[in-house]
């Protein structure tokens, strides 16, 4: 399966946008494909990983994995 | 009577926290200087001056107690709150469960052991302090002025300053919005002088409990009883009978009348905000009786010092806790910090839902004295100013997370107000983090820096065993 096709299988949740005065998060979080622990990633890395040009490395178990293999992603919509 | 809690039982309860400086200390400035020094050192002993030196050089037989409530931890302990950080919720409960007072006869009231009436009264024999450089004379600062509403007979008690102007005359300063001032105006409007009594010195549970933020007209005695954990014992005053009751275990009581429509100069005098308030006009009291215990102790609050601010702020915490509770159950702690005088409040919420942080802010900003309220999450220690600053600097975008309100009632002695102002402006700041929106997922923000608990324990153990006397403090 190509990287582009794998993107569609990722368990992505987007934070709501809401009213401009509501606090809605500042950073993306990823749940590791291997151990399930959570860590946070910069928006630019998320974009690159989603496009298949970068991958994540879990700081807890060191496992390297692609965007589509993450157990879960909680993403902040860009403003 | 034994077993009753009073100022003496308090001193026995906290003996290890009482500092009795050796030698004589002048009632003019020297005793207050001790309080300034202890504030600056960040240490808060109760201070008992056993040899107060009077202006004529003699030593008063009446010792002076000050700094009684400078320690927040000790004050909380003395009113039955084990952890001072829980003063808000605990005092809210206490205020909600009053214990009515009981009446005792004069011969069962230690405060009437000694009675001086008419020309036998001499205010100038009291070791009242001249605290600060611009004070015009010696002031009573822990005198709980007690009046009553002539329409209902319901009494009111509040700490209000009095400048000793002669053997039987002292000023009586009360801000126009105070409940005592309302009572006084009613008497005056009826063409009468206002009856009044001032009680000085009692267990902190009574002194603090009597500072409850009550409705009008509403007596403070039952709240004081709730803090004391037993009914407060009251005795009829000598001058006014059961119209004005006073605590039977007080140290000193001064009784008299506020003559109708008479005002004179008062001040300058130190205020809670830490500046010297301007000279002003105030009524005065013609003293008719002074009663006291045989071995009375004179109690003084350090104006504008921690001693004066701590108990009032703790009572504010109880009041504000109830105001927030009425709009969100997520309030867990509240702190009115000494550093903000009475103008600032820190609120800690646990997992507030959308909008609840601002609901809490809106609720407390209606309270007259507050100018600024900040809401944080429960990972922030609201009793640590460094943590509060960290939350403000890292969790707030000012335009999004703050709102200002103008034209609200406020403290008219706020030194930042322009002359003639009748209202103030206020600010609410939401320094909470956004909440997690998905079950099991972390908050969508940066995690705070941490080290593992085992490493923390080891580090704390190492530090506690180190000789740190030469380590820099800054």
Rounded Cα–Cα distance for residues B276 and B305 (Å):
12
Q: Is the pLDDT of residue B320 over 60?
A: yes
Interface test with chain A among B355, B401, B434, by most A beta carbons within 10 Å: B434
- Considering only residues 22 to 61 of chain A, which have any Cβ-Cβ distance to chain B shorter than 8 Å? 22-29, 31, 38, 40
Neighbours of A70 (CB within 10 A): 23
Facing B445 at nearest CB: one of A25, A31, A72: A25
- Model pLDDT, residue A79: 62
- Put simply, whether B450 touches A (Cβ < 8 Å) is no
What are the C-alpha distances in Å from A45 to residues A25, A50, A57, B267, B447?
Answer: 17, 8, 11, 66, 18
Q: Nearest residue of A to residue B401 by CA position? A: A21
Within a 13 Å sphere around the CA of B410, how many CA atoms are in the beta-carbon half? Answer: 25
pLDDT band at B380 (very low <50, low <70, confident <90, very high): very high
Q: Do B444 and A25 touch (CB under 8 A)?
A: yes
Instruction: Name A33's bridge partners.
Output: none
In angstroms and rounded to an integer, the radius of gyration of the C-alpha atoms of chain B is 24
- Put simply, whether B191 touches A (Cβ < 8 Å) is no
pLDDT, one tens digit per residue, over B150-172 is 999 999 999 999 999 999 999 99
Three-state DSSP class for B331?
strand
Q: Do B400 and A29 touch (CB under 8 A)?
A: no
Q: Is the pLDDT of residue A5 over 70?
A: no
Every domain of chain B with CATH number 3.40.1670.10 lies at 326-430
Q: Where are the domains of chain A?
A: 3-75
Check: CB of residue B156 under 8 Å from CB of residue B183: yes
- Model pLDDT, residue B40: 94
- Put simply, whether B474 touches A (Cβ < 8 Å) is no
Q: What is the mean pLDDT of chain B?
A: 95
Structure pTM? 0.91
Q: Which residues of A touch B447 (CB under 8 A)?
A: 40
Q: Do A15 and B437 touch (CB under 8 A)?
A: yes
- Model pLDDT, residue B164: 98
Q: Do B438 and A13 touch (CB under 8 A)?
A: yes
Every domain of chain B with CATH number 2.30.110.10 lies at 85-301
Check: CB of residue B209 under 8 Å from CB of residue B224: yes
Rounded Cα–Cα distance for residues A45 and A49 (Å):
6
Q: Is the pLDDT of residue A50 over 50?
A: yes
Where would I find the H helices in B244-384?
Answer: 306-325, 356-365
- Considering only residues 402 to 431 of chain B, which have any Cβ-Cβ distance to chain A shorter than 8 Å? 430
Element (H, E) at B180: helix B179-189
pLDDT, one tens digit per residue, over B448-464 is 999 999 999 999 999 99
Tell me which of B92-96, B98-102, B243-247, B280-284 is least confident: B92-96
- Model pLDDT, residue B2: 54
Neighbours of B17 (CB within 10 A): 16
| Cβ neighbours for B405, distance < 8 A, ≥ 6 positions apart | B365, B425, B426, B427, B428
Q: Nearest residue of B to residue A16 by CA position? A: B437
Facing A72 at nearest CB: one of B400, B433, B441: B441
Interface test with chain B among A17, A23, A39, by most B beta carbons within 10 Å: A23
DSSP category for residue B86: G
Facing A23 at nearest CB: one of B434, B442, B446: B434
- Model pLDDT, residue A9: 64
Topology, domain B326-430:
UbiD C-terminal domain-like (3.40.1670)
Q: Do A74 and B447 touch (CB under 8 A)?
A: no
Q: Do A26 and B446 touch (CB under 8 A)?
A: yes
Q: Which residues of A touch B441 (CB under 8 A)?
A: 13, 29, 31, 38, 72, 74
Domain B85-301 has CATH 2.30.110.10: yes
Q: Is the pLDDT of residue B80 over 60?
A: yes
- The average pLDDT across B47-71 equals 98
Check: CB of residue B316 under 8 Å from CB of residue B335: no
- Put simply, whether B433 touches A (Cβ < 8 Å) is yes
The phi and psi torsions of B379 (rounded to 5 degrees) equal -90, -5
- Put simply, whether A78 touches B (Cβ < 8 Å) is no
Pairing outcome for strands B139-140 and B162-166: antiparallel
Alpha carbon of A3: minimum distance to chain B alpha carbons (Å): 25
Q: Nearest residue of A to residue B448 by CA position? A: A40
The CA-based angle B154-B196-B301, given to 5 degrees, is 100
Interface test with chain A among B399, B431, B444, by most A beta carbons within 10 Å: B444
Residue % of chain B over a pLDDT of 70: 100
pLDDT, one tens digit per residue, over A12-48 is 988 887 788 888 889 999 999 999 999 999 999 999 9
């Amino acid at each position: 399966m190509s990287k582009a096709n794998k993107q569609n299988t990722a368990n992505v949740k987007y934070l709501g946008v809401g009213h401009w005065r509501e606090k809605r998060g500042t950073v993306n979080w990823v749940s590791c494909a291997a151990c399930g622990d959570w860590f946070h990633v910069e928006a630019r890395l998320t974009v690159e990983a989603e496009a298949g040009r970068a991958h994540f490395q879990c700081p807890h178990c060191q496992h390297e994995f692609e965007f589509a293999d993450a157990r879960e992603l909680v993403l902040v919509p860009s403003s | 009577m034994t077993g009753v809690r009073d100022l003496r039982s308090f001193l026995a309860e906290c003996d290890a926290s009482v500092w009795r400086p050796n030698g004589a200390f002048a009632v003019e400035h020297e005793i207050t200087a001790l309080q300034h020094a202890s504030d600056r050192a960040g240490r808060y002993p109760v201070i008992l001056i056993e040899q107060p030196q009077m202006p004529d050089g003699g030593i008063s037989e009446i010792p002076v107690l000050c700094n009684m409530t400078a320690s927040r931890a000790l004050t909380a302990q003395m009113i039955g709150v084990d952890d001072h950080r829980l003063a808000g919720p605990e005092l809210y409960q206490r205020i909600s469960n009053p214990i009515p007072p009981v009446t005792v006869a004069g011969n069962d009231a230690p405060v009437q052991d000694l009675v001086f009436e008419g020309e036998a009264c001499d205010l100038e024999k009291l070791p009242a302090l001249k605290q600060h450089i611009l004070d015009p004379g010696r002031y009573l600062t822990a005198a709980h002025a007690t009046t009553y509403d002539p329409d209902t007979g319901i009494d009111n008690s509040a700490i209000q300053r009095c400048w000793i102007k002669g053997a039987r005359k002292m000023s009586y300063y009360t801000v126009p919005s105070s409940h005592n001032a309302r009572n006084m105006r009613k008497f005056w409007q009826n063409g009468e002088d206002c009856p009044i009594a001032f009680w000085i010195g009692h267990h902190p549970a009574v002194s603090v409990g009597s500072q409850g933020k009550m409705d009008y007209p509403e007596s403070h005695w039952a709240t004081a009883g709730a803090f004391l954990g037993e009914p407060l014992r009251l005795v009829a005053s000598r001058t006014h009978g059961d119209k004005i009751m006073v605590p039977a275990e007080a140290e000193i009581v001064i009784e008299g009348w506020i003559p109708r429509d008479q005002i004179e100069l008062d001040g300058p005098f130190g205020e809670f905000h830490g500046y010297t308030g301007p000279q002003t006009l105030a009524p005065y009291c013609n003293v008719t009786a002074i009663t006291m215990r045989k071995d009375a102790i004179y109690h003084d609050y350090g104006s504008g010092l921690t001693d004066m601010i701590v108990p009032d702020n703790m009572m504010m915490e109880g009041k504000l806790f109830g105001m927030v509770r009425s709009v969100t159950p997520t309030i867990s702690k509240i702190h009115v910090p000494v550093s903000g005088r009475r103008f600032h409040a820190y609120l800690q919420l646990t997992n507030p839902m959308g909008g609840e942080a601002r609901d809490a802010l809106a609720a407390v900003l209606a309270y007259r004295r507050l100018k600024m309220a900040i809401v944080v999450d429960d990972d922030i220690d609201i009793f640590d100013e460094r943590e509060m600053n960290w939350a403000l600097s890292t969790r707030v975008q000012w335009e999004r997370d703050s709102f200002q309100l103008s034209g609200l009632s406020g403290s008219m002695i706020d030194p930042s107000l322009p002359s003639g102002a009748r209202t103030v402006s206020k600010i609410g700041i939401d320094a909470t983090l956004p909440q997690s929106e998905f079950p099991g997922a972390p908050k969508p923000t940066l995690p705070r820096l941490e080290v593992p608990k085992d490493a923390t324990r080891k580090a704390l153990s190492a530090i506690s065993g180190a000789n740190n006397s030469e380590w820099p403090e800054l």
